[in-house]
Amino acid sequence: MLKNHPTIRFILQRGIWYLLTFFVAVTINFFLPRFGADPIDLIMSKQKGATGKQAEDKRTAYMKEFGLVDQQKVAVTVNREIFVDGNNKPISYETLSKSGLLVEDTLTQLWNSTFSVTDFAALQNALKKLNEKKGLKLPDWIDVWGGCEEVEIDDEREDNYECLPAWGLEEILRKNLTASEILSLPGININMGVKVYSANANALSEKLGGFSLVSEAYLVKEKSGELNIYQYNGDTQKPRYVKIAGAGNKVDDGNVSFLIGNEVLYNKAENEQDESVLTMLIPIRRSLFGQYIQYLGMIARGDLGTSLVRYPQSVGNIVSSAVPWTIALQLPAILIGWFFGNTLGALAAYKRGLFDKILFPCALLTNSIPMFAIGMLLVYVFAEGLGIFPASGGYAIDVVPGFTIAFITSAAYYYILPFLSLFPIFASGQATGMRTMGIYELGTGYVKYAKTLGVSEGRILMYIFRNAMLPQLTGLALGLGTMIGGALITEMIFSYPGLGSALLSAVQTNDYPLIQGGALLVMITVLVANLTVDLLIGFFDPRVKAGLSGG
Amino acid sequence: MSIFEAKHLSLHYLTRFGSKVHAAVDISFELEEGEILGIAGESGCGKTTLVSGLSGMCIPPLNYTSGEIFVSGQPLIGRPLEDIRENVLAKEISMIPQGAYNALNPTRKIKDLAMDVLKSHEKGKANKKEMYQRIHNRFELLGLDTDKVLNSYSVQLTPGEKQRSVIGISTLLNPKMVIADEPTSALDVTTQKQVIGVIFDLLEKKVFSTMIFITHELPLLRHVADRIAVMYAGEIVEMGTSEQLVFSPKHPYTQALMSAMLSAEEGARKRKPEAIEGAPPNLAEEIVGCRFAPRCKHATDGCKKNKQEIRIVDNRQVRCENAK
């Protein structure tokens, strides 16, 4: 079928090859950081500030971000009814969810941020409102826990409260504080969550004893009316809730409202009065293949992941804020250099003589000077010596980036030296190439023939320029393609904000997701540039085009 | 009045080191309207150099040394190049180049190449459609699949099609004279016949009437030309009608050239062709006496020393003092 459409066949053929190349590149990109030491270990070893639980949480978060672990839903069976209204009737999660102000959402928000005491009061108000709306009563106790370090209260050393947020449930229970009193505790800072408990503090206090309250415990009203406390057993293989204490009849039914944990989804089976099913999300380490599939999925969605060092900034954000600088640095140099170089080269080829004799050696010389040498020379002469131009940075410190005249003039001023270090090299490379091609084309039979037929000079020049241009076009497209990752040295010399600098710092800090994202971006641009050249040459050069149609 | 006249025309190449290579020396001939002059000679004898010189466009390193060229009575050498380009080339003198395979710009369609020639000579006179129609009409005469060829790039054409396209483009402006430089040398016998046929068709249809036909194949010239000039080492050594030259050559070189010709006559198998001993002289050096003398069987002491001038022998021009 495609035989009749050589152009479509050509594009598809190329496209498939490039897609395959891309796939291989992505695979290599995926496996490289997984060959050596554990990237998460490397990152953690560089972050000395965090220890204990916080570090563990961070580690879990990193592993999740890097695709090493997955949260799997696990069904947990528990004999209880969580939501009860004022008349002691169960409220299904669905009803609660539809009611608008969902407590869980509020709590989840709280979970993810740090609150001051006033915020806590706001929460209390919210809960109160909700409860009134629902016909629920405000609980007497609101437990606040979490904090900076592991909550570990040594009963024998009651005065040991150096870490302020270590106000645990035990403490609150022990002191028999009310909600308002809790609020007035010095340094209360909720940053993990809220749990609501029964009014009968003493009963709970006795039973809870040595349990760490960091993991969720639930007060559950049994069918019999008995109240018990359940806790997740922590077993990923056979997850279930274990009854850890009975609250007894001392707990006032009306005061029990609800308990909500962090990563628990309630999935109440309506037909089962006795047994509701709790579905939990539990972190489980992925297999390498699973990680690979997950990585491919991320790439397909255009998600480059999250930076580990600049957590929780996404790689996409970092890259997209760096790329404009890189493009702004290189694109003008490449485009202007290309036009300038090619025009000079064509002129040299056509005019020869003195012009050529001066231009050609100069271009060769410029082209062979390393970029960093020109860059450093420029900094030395114009920034250090004469002080005309700034030595580093992308714009003045006192200017705010944005579409303002002040910013644009500042950026343009700071751009002059980097431009001057890039432009001559690219332009001279193009000029030498164009000169050689032009001289070759001038000697070809068709130019001579056109001359003997008296074809006007302009037309002959156009022949030469067009035919000599084809290989130069490849140079341009490749220049644009490699541009994204290509100006690292320039960015380093001029401390220019760009992808090169971002990648360099990522390499220095083992920020694998950022390295992977940057590498992927460079790969994509190079591949796209190559594909474009392939297709362009196919359409512009009849010699290739004729080959397509088999003519 | 003759259409084209060359008087004692000499051409030289200027080398990088300043020395001169005299590739064409003392060329004189006249062409009447309707006449076809064949120029023959071995490779490197200066045929192509002469052609470049005849068109009036000497592209360095080729330069005029001396002599004159008259086109329709008007002197050509010394006129401004732009004038020659606009008024002489393709209108008065047109070229069919050697090797059509690289005479066509590979990145332009044949119709655009033809259009470029028209546009270069007729600025603003005719509209595009009419120009295309003219090109189309001319290509119809060439026995080609006109629409296909016009819309093709040169790489898509066969050698025969390319050569015929070149002929079509060269004769677009109905030139008074055509200089065909070995138009058939790279072609097989069948294609060669087609191309020659096309040239004859165009002559018959009065697209052009006068022609200089250059080739190293003498039998072909006998078919085509009214007169033949034989060149050796940059000089015309003998010029006469084709009958005279083919059947009774007078100059030793013409004779040798004729006997070196391979033919399909009886007993020709196993007969070693008679090659001419030796090699042509180095044109960069000064040559004393007859240029052919070192290879000539009939050379005498006299002709080895004396520069040979054109003599009229048996109604033809011969550059040999011993010719009878």
Mutate: best of A442, A448, A452, A457, partner B, most B CBs <10 A = A452
Cα separation of A35 and A68, whole Å?
A: 14
Q: What is the pLDDT of residues A485-533, one digit of tens each?
A: 667 788 888 888 888 888 888 888 888 888 888 888 888 888 888 888 8
Range(s) of the domain holding residue A109: 70-285
Q: Tell whether the model's pLDDT for residue A161 goes beyond 60.
A: no
Let me know: does A463 contact A450? Beta carbons within 8 Å.
yes
- Domain B1-83+226-262+273-324, CATH class in plain words: alpha beta
The structure tokens listed for A404 are: 């303002």
Asked whether residue A400 is domain-assigned, the answer is yes
Q: What is the pLDDT of residues B4-39, one digit of tens each?
A: 999 999 999 988 888 888 888 889 999 998 899 999
* Confidence class for position B280, pLDDT limits 50, 70, 90: confident
Which is more confident, A152 or B37? Answer: B37
Partners of B29 in the β-ladder: B6
Domain boundaries defined on chain B? 1-83+226-262+273-324, 90-214
Q: Tell whether the model's pLDDT for residue B176 goes beyond 50.
A: yes
Contacts of B152 in chain A (CB under 8 A): 551
Nearest CA distance, B268 vs chain A (angstrom): 38
> Do A94 and A208 lie in a common domain?
yes
Task: Count chain A–chain B contacts defined by CB atoms under 8 A.
Answer: 83
* Confidence class for position A194, pLDDT limits 50, 70, 90: very low
Across the interface, which of B97, B113, B156 has its CB nearest the CB of A452? B97
Residue contact A454–B90, C-beta within 8 A: yes
Residue contact A450–B116, C-beta within 8 A: yes
Cα separation of B236 and B221, whole Å?
A: 16
Let me know: does B315 contact B248? Beta carbons within 8 Å.
no
Q: What is the pLDDT of residues B207-257, one digit of tens each?
A: 888 999 988 777 788 888 899 999 988 889 999 998 888 888 888 888 888
Average pLDDT on A357-373 reads: 88
Q: What is the pLDDT of residues B133-175, one digit of tens each?
A: 989 988 988 888 888 999 888 888 888 888 889 999 999 988 9
Residue contact A446–B105, C-beta within 8 A: yes
Contacts of B95 in chain A (CB under 8 A): 449, 452-453
Contacts of B110 in chain A (CB under 8 A): none
Q: Tell whether the model's pLDDT for residue A146 goes beyond 50.
A: no
| Buried-state track B279-294, b at ≥16 Cβ within 10 A, e below 16 | ebbebeeebebbbbbe
Q: Tell whether the model's pLDDT for residue A88 goes beyond 60.
A: no
Cα separation of A123 and A180, whole Å?
A: 13
Q: What is the CATH number of the domain that holds A437?
A: 1.10.3720
Which is more confident, A275 or B96? Answer: B96
Contacts of B108 in chain A (CB under 8 A): 463
Residue A66's nearest CA partner among A512, A549, A380 is: A512
Which is more confident, A177 or B274? Answer: B274
CB atoms within 10 A of CB A367: 18
* Confidence class for position A428, pLDDT limits 50, 70, 90: very high
* Top-ranked range on mean pLDDT: pick from A285-289, A386-390, B206-210, B276-280: B206-210
Predicted pLDDT at A80:
34
Which of A395-404, A542-551, B58-67, B315-324 is the least confident region? Answer: A542-551
Which is more confident, A306 or B6? Answer: B6
> Do A77 and A219 lie in a common domain?
yes
> Do A259 and A352 lie in a common domain?
no
Residue contact A449–B166, C-beta within 8 A: yes
Angle between helical axes of A512-540 and A6-35 (0-180°, round to 10): 160
> Do A89 and A175 lie in a common domain?
yes
pTM beyond 0.90, yes or no: no
Torsion of CA B60, B65, B68, B70, to 10 degrees: -10
Predicted pLDDT at B271:
60
Residue contact A546–B90, C-beta within 8 A: no
Contacts of B151 in chain A (CB under 8 A): none
Residue contact A456–B55, C-beta within 8 A: no
Average pLDDT of chain A is 66
* Confidence class for position A340, pLDDT limits 50, 70, 90: very high
> Do A278 and A146 lie in a common domain?
yes
Asked whether residue A208 is domain-assigned, the answer is yes
Predicted pLDDT at A486:
65
Across the interface, which of B101, B107, B116 has its CB nearest the CB of A466? B107
> Do A266 and A372 lie in a common domain?
no
Please identify, among A269, A285, A301, the residue that sits at the C-terminal boundary of a domain: A285
Contacts of B119 in chain A (CB under 8 A): 456, 459
> Do A168 and A218 lie in a common domain?
yes
Q: ipTM of the assembly?
A: 0.89
Residue contact B105–A448, C-beta within 8 A: no
Rama region for B62: left / alpha / beta (φ>0; ψ in -120 to 50; rest): beta
Contacts of B180 in chain A (CB under 8 A): none
Contacts of A463 in chain B (CB under 8 A): 105, 107-108
> Do A103 and A242 lie in a common domain?
yes
Asked whether residue A365 is domain-assigned, the answer is yes
Q: Tell whether the model's pLDDT for residue A141 goes beyond 80.
A: no
Which is more confident, A14 or A57? Answer: A14
Residue contact B170–A453, C-beta within 8 A: yes
Residue contact B103–A446, C-beta within 8 A: yes
Q: What is the pLDDT of residues A96-131, one digit of tens each?
A: 444 433 344 444 433 333 333 334 445 455 555 545
Predicted pLDDT at A134:
46
Q: Tell whether the model's pLDDT for residue B314 goes beyond 50.
A: yes
Residue B276's nearest CA partner among B257, B254, B290, B289 is: B257
Across the interface, which of B103, B109, B152 has its CB nearest the CB of A449? B103
Let me know: does A426 contact A341? Beta carbons within 8 Å.
yes
**Domain count within chain A:** 2
Helix (H) or strand (E) holding A457: helix A457-486
* Confidence class for position A257, pLDDT limits 50, 70, 90: very low
Asked whether residue A50 is domain-assigned, the answer is no
High-pLDDT (> 70) share of chain B, %: 95
Average pLDDT on A262-282 reads: 36
Predicted pLDDT at A254:
26
Tracing tokens 């997984």 back to the chain, one arrives at: A34
Across the interface, which of B89, B101, B102 has its CB nearest the CB of A453? B89
Average pLDDT on A451-472 reads: 86
> Do A239 and A361 lie in a common domain?
no
CB atoms within 10 A of CB A131: 19
> Do A329 and A258 lie in a common domain?
no
Cis peptide before B61 (omega within 30 of 0): yes
Let me know: does B282 contact B215? Beta carbons within 8 Å.
no
B1-83+226-262+273-324 and B90-214 in the same fold? yes
Across the interface, which of B57, B86, B153 has its CB nearest the CB of A546? B153
Predicted pLDDT at A129:
56
Across the interface, which of A450, A453, A541 has its CB nearest the CB of B94? A453
Rama region for A406: left / alpha / beta (φ>0; ψ in -120 to 50; rest): alpha
> Do A260 and A331 lie in a common domain?
no
Contacts of A453 in chain B (CB under 8 A): 89-90, 94-95, 117, 120, 169-170
Contacts of A541 in chain B (CB under 8 A): 107
* Top-ranked range on mean pLDDT: pick from A15-19, B43-47, B58-62: A15-19
CATH of segment(s) B90-214: 3.40.50.300
Across the interface, which of B85, B106, B156 has its CB nearest the CB of A454? B85
* Confidence class for position A51, pLDDT limits 50, 70, 90: low
